[in-house]
Amino acid sequence: AQSVTQLGSHVSVSEGALVLLRCNYSSSVPPYLFWYVQYPNQGLQLLLKYTSAATLVKGINGFEAEFKKSETSFHLTKPSAHMSDAAEYFCAVRTNTGNQFYFGTGTSLTVIP
Amino acid sequence: EAGVTQFPSHSVIEKGQTVTLRCDPISGHDNLYWYRRVMGKEIKFLLHFVKESKQDESGMPNNRFLAERTGGTYSTLKVQPAELEDSGVYFCASSPLGGGHNEQFFGPGTRLTVL
């Protein structure tokens, strides 16, 4: 079975500071990787996805993530945090042999003014 | 275009009662998924429909859970009888048929509390 590890269930950053949310996965085959964000009282919204094209993926709201096969990582970054980035972020993996997504436990991001 | 909708948004029931959750996928999406998140844990897969057929129900916890998707449109997930450990947020997602690169579109979830 696949597993996804998100280090840090809670992350706090100052407004304007770098955001770094970590995601590591276990997969014996090249995976598809996704980052979702959940704002309060809303559903999960796709931020970005890696589908074996460019290893550096740009998403919405200034977020990007880099796929590093050697490190089995797909960390999410944003150069400058905004108050509106406060939300819960989920990393997910899907292999090319199945349909289900495997999620990490989520990281709650707090942005301090 | 309307997104995935779920009803109800919240449900509070007592142990032993029955609850039915409903999911309306995005129109035209043949894939429909149910997931559950128990507090503090990861979002876990429950099952997957392709149209009206169950493609994969390997994540269903036990036979107290019954999912249906009659006609290949909306889906229901019934829990009968509910137990305390069934509490959590139940998410529904849908996607069109196609490759694994397709994202899944998620609904806002139903928060179930079993007392």
B108: DSSP letter: -
Of A32, A3, A102, nearest in space to B37 by CA:
A102
**The pLDDT value given to residue B39:** 87
Q: Are the beta carbons of B46 and B109 closer than 8 angstroms?
A: no
pLDDT mean over A80-84: 96
- In angstroms, the separation between the Cα of residue A55 and the nearest Cα of chain B is 14
List the single best residue of B37, B42, B53, B58 to mutate versus A (max A Cβ within 10 A). Answer: B42
CA atoms within 13 A on the CB side of A49: 17
**The pLDDT value given to residue A26:** 87
Residue A82 has pLDDT above 90, yes or no: yes
List the single best residue of A103, A105, A107 to mutate versus B (max B Cβ within 10 A). Answer: A103
Q: A20-29: per-residue pLDDT in tens?
A: 999 999 876 6
Do A36 and B106 count as a contact with CB atoms less than 8 A apart?
A: yes
Residue B101 has pLDDT above 70, yes or no: no
- Distance in angstroms (rounded) separating the CA atoms of residues B35 and B110: 11
Q: How many CB pairs under 8 A join A and B?
A: 60
Q: B2-52: per-residue pLDDT in tens?
A: 899 999 999 999 999 999 999 999 999 999 999 999 988 999 999 999 999
Do A32 and B59 count as a contact with CB atoms less than 8 A apart?
A: no
- In angstroms, the separation between the Cα of residue B110 and the nearest Cα of chain A is 10
User: CA angle A108-B1-B7, nearest 5°?
Assistant: 60
3-state SS, residue A40: coil
User: With pLDDT > 70 as the criterion, what percentage of chain B qualifies?
Assistant: 97
> Which are the contacts of A55, defined by CB distance < 8 A and separation ≥ 6?
A66, A67, A68
**A25 has a chain B CB within 8 A of its CB:** no
